[in-house]
Amino acid sequence: MRPRILVVEDEPAIADTIRYALSTEGYDPVWCATGQAALDAARDDGIALVILDVGLPDINGFDLFKRLAPITAAPVIFLTARTAEVDRIVGLELGADDYVSKPFSPRELTARVRTILRRAARGAATAAAAEPSGPLVVDDERKSVRYFGTALDLSRYEYRVLKLLASRPGRVYSRDEILQQAWDDPDSSFDRTVDAHIKLIRAKLKAVKPDVEAIRTHRGDGYSLREDW
């Protein structure tokens, strides 16, 4: 069965170009011109990836991304005419898997789609089912983390960072290692990006257990998840 790609783009000419390029590469594109239509279509469990235009007529693409997150775990590529670096950073910080600026090469876009889907398939194939033991449990199939029995509301990158730290409790990961292993495009991010995500994760952990320091800072070296629970 061909992977289904949700294309959220309000300009028919651009949507047609994307659909044609995806179809010739063996994908099954599903086109939506509005955010509301995309929300309805995203409820289909068969959606493998979302190509999301930022400039939609009924809702900002960044806001739509946030509304899509609870509905589908499919990776997202932002598509936009905006060229400002801050827009690119906002999209990636929200947890998007990639960011393509208009005008773009259809061949490049399909190549990025192929790369992201290959990475997602590889991760699913190698993920081991988490055993429900210990205070912090990672369920990679559901992309979720339970902390002392409470499910955490994590963004895509918060989940990846916490999963990495939890894979080897006590092991100190440098900021660069975290960027390289948790981010799809590490060269576009900075050390402070890791610090910001660690801060957000800590706040969510503290909301569950205020008296427990789950993540430890090793000044000049990086971060680790405590192992002496």
**DSSP letter (8 states) at residue 99:** E
Q: Which residue, 72, 73, 6, 13, is CA-closest to 37?
A: 6
State the Cα–Cα distance between residues 139 and 112, nearest whole angstrom: 26
Domains and CATH numbers, the chain: 4-125 (3.40.50.2300), 136-225 (1.10.10.10)
Please report which residue ranges of 25-60 form alpha helices under DSSP H.
35-41
pTM here? 0.56
pLDDT in tens, the chain (229 residues): 799 999 999 999 999 999 999 999 999 999 999 999 999 999 877 899 999 999 899 999 999 999 998 888 899 999 887 666 666 677 777 888 888 888 899 999 999 999 999 888 876 655 444 444 579 999 988 889 999 989 999 999 999 999 999 999 999 999 999 999 999 877 766 768 999 999 999 999 999 999 999 999 999 899 999 998 7
The confidence score (pLDDT) of residue 47 equals 93
Q: What are phi and psi of 8, to 5 degrees?
A: -110, 100
Please, what is the angle between helix 156-167 and helix 175-182, to 10°? Answer: 120
